[in-house]
Structure 1
Amino acid sequence: MLALAGCAHRAPPSADSDWKQARQAVVVVTPDWNANHGTLRTYERTDGAWREVGTAQPVTVGRSGSAWGLGLHPGGLPGPTKEEGDGRSPAGVFGIGEAFGYAEKASTSLPYAAMQASHYCMDVSGSPLYNRIVDADTVGADAVAGSTEPMRLDLRKPGDQRYRLGFVIEHNPQARPNAGSCIFAHLWKQPGEATAGCTAMADPTMDRLLAWLRPEQHPVFVLMPDAQYRSLRAEWKLPALDGQP
C-alpha cells in the first residue's frame, strides 16, 4: 500500500514551524481563487535565504480554482475550504510524498511506486482507505469499490498519459472525511486543460522536478492565489516572487 500521508492528527502549526527544515520548494501561484491555471517556480534555501532555480513554467489546477486544504499550514484562514469533489486544488503548504508512474523505475530520488492495473486511489469518503493509494490485489476488490481514481488511466482510456509520471501532494494527511483526497502533481492531458483538483504540467517540467527533488531536503509544495501568497509570504518565510516585496 502506498500511503498518501500519515494517519496521526497534528496540532495546528504557527508560521513556518512545520516546514522550517525545507530546503526545496515547488511554488504554484494562481491569479485568484477561481483561476484554473498558474505559474510554477522552484526554489532552494541556503543559509536561510531562498533563491530561484530553473525557469517559471505554466501549470493547470482544479477546474474550479483552489481552496484552503489541510497540510502543514495553520487552519482557519479566510477564503474557501477544500471539499471532496469540488473541483478545486488544495491551497497552502504541503509535504511532497512518493512519486509514481507507469514504468518500473523513474529518474528520481523520491521513493517511487510502479502502478499496476490493480492500483486505485480511494476517493470514497468514509472508507477506511480514504486518501490512500492501494492495490486491490492486496486489500481486495470490495475494498476499492466506488473509487473513481484508477492509477493506470492508460489501461482504461487508451493513450491517457496523465499518471505516467507524478508525485503525491500530501493534502489531508489525517484523512478527514469529505476534505478532499488523491491530490497529485501529474502530467497534463493537453496544454491548458484543467484538472479535478490536482496540479498538471508538461512532461519536461515533471521530468525536471522529479530529477531535482531530494527527500533529505524536506521539499514542500506551495499553492496559493497571488493575493494570499503576497499577504502570507513574509510571515510564513516563503520565497519572494519576481517583483514581490
Structure 2
Amino acid sequence: MTPFDLVLTPRGVRYQGRYYPCSIGKGGLRQDKREGDGATPRGIHHVVGMLYRADRIARPAPWAEPIGPNDLWSDACDDPAYNQKVRAPYGASHEQLRRADPLYDVVWITDWNYPQATPGRGSAIFLHQWRRPHYPTEGCIAFRRDHLLQLSRRILPGTRLIVPQR
C-alpha cells in the first residue's frame, strides 16, 4: 500500500494518513459480488473516472466530466451496454446519473466489472456523497459532501481503492 491509496478500514477510508468516515453497501463486504446484492466488493479497485454536476458545483478536478441531463448508467444484466454509461432514451434497466438529490453531484467511477462487464457480477461501484452518516448504499462507498469534494481535488485517475479481504 502507498499513502496515495484509498484504504477502507473500520474507521472509514484512509487516505494520506487521514480517515474519512464513509458508508458501504447494505449487503456488507463480499468477495462474490452479484448484481442487486447491495454488497461492496472486496479487492483492489481503481478510480477510472469522475463525473460531476456542472450546474451545481465547479469542476472538482481537471479530468472530471460533466453529467448531462440524458446521462444514465445501465444495470440491465442482459443488455450489451450492461455496466456502461448510456444516454436517454434508453429502454433497459438503468440508473439516473443526473439526480434531483445531491448524491451524485460528484461520482467517482471504479473499474469494478468495468469497462468489460460480466453480466450479473454487479454494476456501478461508485464513490459518491452519502445520504446521512453511515446510511448504507447499494454497494457503493459514500462520504460526507465536504470530504468527497476535498478528496476529489486530490485523487488522480488510477488511484487504488483497497477493500481488504478480511
Common fold by TM > 0.5: yes
- Is 1:86 aligned with 2:37? yes
Runs of at least 4 residues off by over 4 Å: none
% identical aligned pairs: 25
What is the rounded CA distance, in whole Å, between the counterparts of 1:152 and 1:63 in structure 2?
23
What is the rounded CA distance, in whole Å, between the counterparts of 1:57 and 1:28 in structure 2?
9
What is the rounded CA distance, in whole Å, between the counterparts of 2:14 and 2:152 in structure 1?
14
> 2:97 is matched with which residue?
151
1:39 positional shift: 0.9
Structure 2: runs of 5 or more not aligned:
none
> 1:108 is matched with which residue?
61
- Is 1:95 aligned with 2:46? yes
Query: SS where residue 195 of structure 1 aligns?
Result: coil
1:146-167 Cα deviation digits (max 9, x unpaired): 324110111xxxxx11001121
Correspondence list, 1:15-164, <5 A: 24-30=4-10, 39-43=12-16, 52=17, 55-68=18-31, 81-103=32-54, 105-109=58-62, 111-136=63-88, 141=89, 144-154=90-100, 160-164=101-105
What is the rounded CA distance, in whole Å, between the counterparts of 1:23 and 1:29 in structure 2?
14
Query: SS where residue 24 of structure 1 aligns?
Result: coil
- Is 1:183 aligned with 2:132? no
1:113 positional shift: 1.8
Please provide the CA RMSD for this pair.
1.9
What is the rounded CA distance, in whole Å, between the counterparts of 1:23 and 1:166 in structure 2?
22
What is the rounded CA distance, in whole Å, between the counterparts of 2:44 and 2:13 in structure 1?
14
- Contact 1:166/1:206 (8 A) holds in 2: no
The one-letter code matched in structure 2 to 1:25 is D
- Contact 2:27/2:37 (8 A) holds in 1: yes
The partner residue of 1:198 within 128, 140, 161 is: 140
Query: SS where residue 153 of structure 1 aligns?
Result: coil
TM-score (norm 1): 0.62
1:114 positional shift: 1.2
> 1:221 is matched with which residue?
161
What is the rounded CA distance, in whole Å, between the counterparts of 1:170 and 1:29 in structure 2?
20
1:117 positional shift: 2.4
1:107 positional shift: 2.3
* Structure exhibiting the larger radius of gyration computed from Cα positions: 1
What is the rounded CA distance, in whole Å, between the counterparts of 1:135 and 1:24 in structure 2?
33
Which structure features the higher share of helix residues? Answer: 1
- Contact 2:4/2:159 (8 A) holds in 1: yes
- Count of matched residue positions in the alignment of Structure 1 and Structure 2: 163
Structure 1: runs of 5 or more not aligned:
1-19, 31-37, 44-51, 69-80, 155-159, 229-245
The partner residue of 1:166 within 107, 111, 120 is: 107
